[in-house]
Amino acid sequence: MQKIINDKDKVVDESFEGLLLCYEKYWKRHPEVKGIISRTRRKDKVALVIGGGSGHEPIYSCLVGKGLADAAVCGNIFASPDPNSVYQTAKAVDAGKGILFIYGNYAGDNLNFDMGEEFLQADGIKTEHVRGMDDVVSQPPERKEERRGIAGALYMVKIAGAVCDAGLSLEDAKAVMEKTRDSIRSVGVATSGAQLPGADKPIFELPEGMIEYGMGVHGERGVKRVPMEPADTLVDNMMQSIFDDGDYKEGDEVCVYINAFGSTSITEMSIAYRRVRQILAEKGIKVYDSDINNYFRTQEMGGFSITLFTLDDELKKYYDMPCWCPYFSKGSVSADDAAVEDDEEIVPEPEFDDSDVEDAPVVRSKEGVLESLSVEDTKNMLLAVANKIISNVDYLTEIDSQTGDGDHGFGMAGGMQKAKKRLLKMEDLDNAYALFGAAGKAMLLSMGGASGVIFGSMFMSGQDFDPKKELSAEDLAEIEAKALATIQERGGAQVGDKTMVDALAPAVDAMKANAGKGLLEMLKAAEAAAKEGVENSKNCIAKFGRSRSLGERALGYQDAGATSVSLIFEAMREFVEG
């Protein structure tokens, strides 16, 4: 597919730059991270910060303005922003009344925003969050806290902006937003797949005459694949999914939003809206307000979603409050009202060049097998790991595209590039453990997505030990055991949940059992165990991440995170063996 881009690794940076140049009258960027800050924000209220992956514009990045968000933090394409970006962007708009975060309920967003909140709380800043979870078909009612957030995010941001501008306390604002969240229900379908900029093919492909039902907004597959139907029949089924989930009754008042994922036309969505109104009229449900638009895109994916937002008198009050930003407005606020003079010059710090895919130079302290790892050997082993992941970016993208949104390869490669550059600058060290910490922090603060927190934590665990100039097999086994414990504590995944733990846990067990046999034999056993874990992940139903909504449809496909773990142990073994 032809896309109007320059370098696939610079798509987010260049689009972010262009967006801010276009609307510099209303927005400014954070000088260090990809954060968009409103020039018109009030300073005496709870600050509203929203965010998520790029590629969905105008949500979330563009809903910044009067009566809306004070700031938005932006990740890579379909990947959550990293914790540092969350922290820095939110801190920039803190007005002393606390910060309310609104974002979608995805593993990467949850992990990264949680860590960002932890950083803020350590600075004495109060925070709360409410996650959108309006996709009724992604999980049953008894597990609704695991549902994805899709186009209902529009209403979440609209109400949250009004609530914060109304001067509510942080605790009261959270309560209203939890009520809002529970009043929104959505369902989506896809008629064609999305394609990541620079990827060779779409995330998924549909046979002629078939659609994906229960579609998310990251291009991941739906909950089932069904034959294409006439518009009225399709809408009937989608509305029934919403009605089956909610307690709708005659006299209810709702807002209706029909959202196009990217390539679906206003003509098609208008036909769908026509049928929605007929169904609501038959049930005696009143339409308070409605919209047909594409606020939540998935690049050029075909298809649409239907969202119903049930209102009571309190929510009507906040919904009717005016708001304005370049892409969304309600009420009497105009562009001229929203603009203020702000001549403050903000110069972004230079970022690493994500197009650098050259192998980092790897030097070993001696020929043959290494019995232990000096500080320099540790550094070079981690560089070898970075090279391995970067060279397998296309392979990891292909694996992730089978059950997810295809961003794992680019995310892992980007994080490893940051780790590589950080390691190459580190000289005259006397603590091998510090190298793990530096690599992990570089990954965690740059990758975004669930992988950033998970794989960053995997490496950062090495900094928790007393300094050492030389690492033995037992030391390396302790690092990976600590990494596994940290990852499971933070994310909760167990073996069999179709995550990277499926490879890491057996590898750690193998390291513990073989540490006494020396570094090489231990890593051989760990590599073999990790590869077996990758194979075993094909037989698992996902309980975390984007693929969890697929259920049994994910069977037969290996987990991308587990695959990365296997490659990491392979690189470590290759380095030690020489």
> Is there a domain that residue 246 lies in?
yes
Average pLDDT, integer, range 157-162: 98
- Per-residue pLDDT at 548 exceeds 90: no
8 Å CB contact between 444 and 83: yes
Shared-domain flag, residues 141 and 285: yes
Q: Retrieve residue 246's tokens.
A: 């909610």
- Per-residue pLDDT at 341 exceeds 70: no
Last residue of some domain: 328, 358, 391?
Answer: 328
Residue 336 — pLDDT band, cuts 50, 70, 90? low
Q: How far apart are CA 559 and CA 542, in angstroms?
A: 9
> What's the pLDDT at 6?
92
- Encode pLDDT of 518-546 as tens digits: 999 999 999 999 999 999 999 999 888 77
Q: Retrieve residue 354's tokens.
A: 């994500």
- Per-residue pLDDT at 338 exceeds 90: no
The region of weakest confidence among 127-136, 258-267, 358-367, 525-534 is: 358-367
Average pLDDT, integer, range 59-86: 93
Q: How far apart are CA 184 and CA 190, in angstroms?
A: 20
Shared-domain flag, residues 188 and 261: yes
Last residue of some domain: 328, 354, 383?
Answer: 328
Which residue among 30, 129, 218, 408 is the active-site one? 218
- Contacts of residue 106, defined as CB under 8 A and 6 or more positions apart, other chains included, come to 52, 80, 148, 149, 218, 450, 546
Distance of CA 239 to the CA centre of its chain: 28
> Is there a domain that residue 361 lies in?
no
8 Å CB contact between 201 and 402: no
> Is there a domain that residue 21 lies in?
yes
- Encode pLDDT of 477-511 as tens digits: 999 999 999 889 888 889 999 999 999 999 999 99
> Is there a domain that residue 477 lies in?
yes
Shared-domain flag, residues 281 and 201: yes
8 Å CB contact between 394 and 405: no
Range among 52-56, 135-139, 251-255 with highest mean pLDDT value: 251-255
Shared-domain flag, residues 80 and 217: yes
- Encode pLDDT of 74-102 as tens digits: 998 888 999 999 999 999 999 999 999 99
Shared-domain flag, residues 317 and 435: no
- For the chain, helix (H) and strand (E) counts, in that order, are 18, 16
Burial class (CB in 10 A: 0-12, 13-18, 19+), 481: middle
Nearest Cα residue to 59 out of 42, 41, 73, 40: 73
User: Looking at 440-496, which runs of residues are DSSP E strands?
Assistant: 470-471
Paired sense of beta strands 99-104 and 127-132, if any: parallel
Residue 391 — pLDDT band, cuts 50, 70, 90? very high
Residue 368, Ramachandran bin (φ over 0: left; ψ between -120 and 50: alpha; else beta): left
Shared-domain flag, residues 222 and 110: yes
80 compared with 179, residue with greater pLDDT: 179
**Domain that includes residue 419, residue range:** 373-577
> What's the pLDDT at 355?
57
- Contacts of residue 369, defined as CB under 8 A and 6 or more positions apart, other chains included, come to 519, 520, 576, 577, 578
> What's the pLDDT at 354?
47
> Is there a domain that residue 339 lies in?
no
Residue 350 — pLDDT band, cuts 50, 70, 90? very low
Shared-domain flag, residues 431 and 301: no
- Contacts of residue 482, defined as CB under 8 A and 6 or more positions apart, other chains included, come to 461, 462, 464, 465
pTM of the model: 0.75
Shared-domain flag, residues 377 and 486: yes
Shared-domain flag, residues 302 and 438: no
Nearest Cα residue to 148 out of 97, 214, 238: 214
Shared-domain flag, residues 12 and 156: yes
Which helix H or strand E contains 164, and what residues bound it?
A: helix 153-165
- Per-residue pLDDT at 358 exceeds 90: no
Residue 115 is part of a domain; what is its CATH number? 3.40.50.10440
> What's the pLDDT at 440?
87
8 Å CB contact between 219 and 347: no
Cis ω on the peptide bond leading into residue 58 (within 30° of 0)?
A: yes
Residue 569 main-chain phi, psi, to 5 deg: -70, -35
- Per-residue pLDDT at 429 exceeds 60: yes
Which residue among 30, 56, 129, 408 is the active-site one? 56
Which helix H or strand E contains 190, and what residues bound it?
A: strand 184-192
- Contacts of residue 358, defined as CB under 8 A and 6 or more positions apart, other chains included, come to none
Q: How far apart are CA 363 and CA 138, in angstroms?
A: 48
- Contacts of residue 137, defined as CB under 8 A and 6 or more positions apart, other chains included, come to 187, 213, 214, 222, 223, 241, 549
Q: How far apart are CA 542 and CA 548, in angstroms?
A: 4
Average pLDDT, integer, range 554-573: 94
> Is there a domain that residue 348 lies in?
no
Residue 346 — pLDDT band, cuts 50, 70, 90? very low
Last residue of some domain: 328, 347, 381?
Answer: 328
Shared-domain flag, residues 423 and 572: yes
- Contacts of residue 197, defined as CB under 8 A and 6 or more positions apart, other chains included, come to 3, 5, 8, 11, 77, 299
- Per-residue pLDDT at 46 exceeds 80: yes
> What's the pLDDT at 448?
65
Q: Retrieve residue 532's tokens.
A: 């077996």
Shared-domain flag, residues 80 and 190: yes
> Is there a domain that residue 26 lies in?
yes
Average pLDDT, integer, range 428-433: 89
56 catalytic residue (yes or no): yes
Number of domains in the chain: 2
- Per-residue pLDDT at 302 exceeds 60: yes
3-state secondary structure 483-507: HHHHHHHHHCCCCCCCCCHHHHHHH
Q: How far apart are CA 295 and CA 304, in angstroms?
A: 11
Q: How far apart are CA 52 and CA 3, in angstroms?
A: 22
3-state secondary structure 165-178: HCCCCHHHHHHHHH
> What's the pLDDT at 126?
98
30 catalytic residue (yes or no): no
Instruction: Give residue 382's identity as a one-letter amino acid code.
Output: L
> Is there a domain that residue 77 lies in?
yes
> What's the pLDDT at 351?
39
Residue 347 — pLDDT band, cuts 50, 70, 90? very low
The region of weakest confidence among 231-245, 350-364, 375-389 is: 350-364
Residue 333 — pLDDT band, cuts 50, 70, 90? low
- Encode pLDDT of 189-207 as tens digits: 999 988 888 788 888 888 8
Which helix H or strand E contains 207, and what residues bound it?
A: none
Residue 466 is part of a domain; what is its CATH number? 1.25.40.340
Q: Residue 286 forms beta bridges with which residues?
A: 253
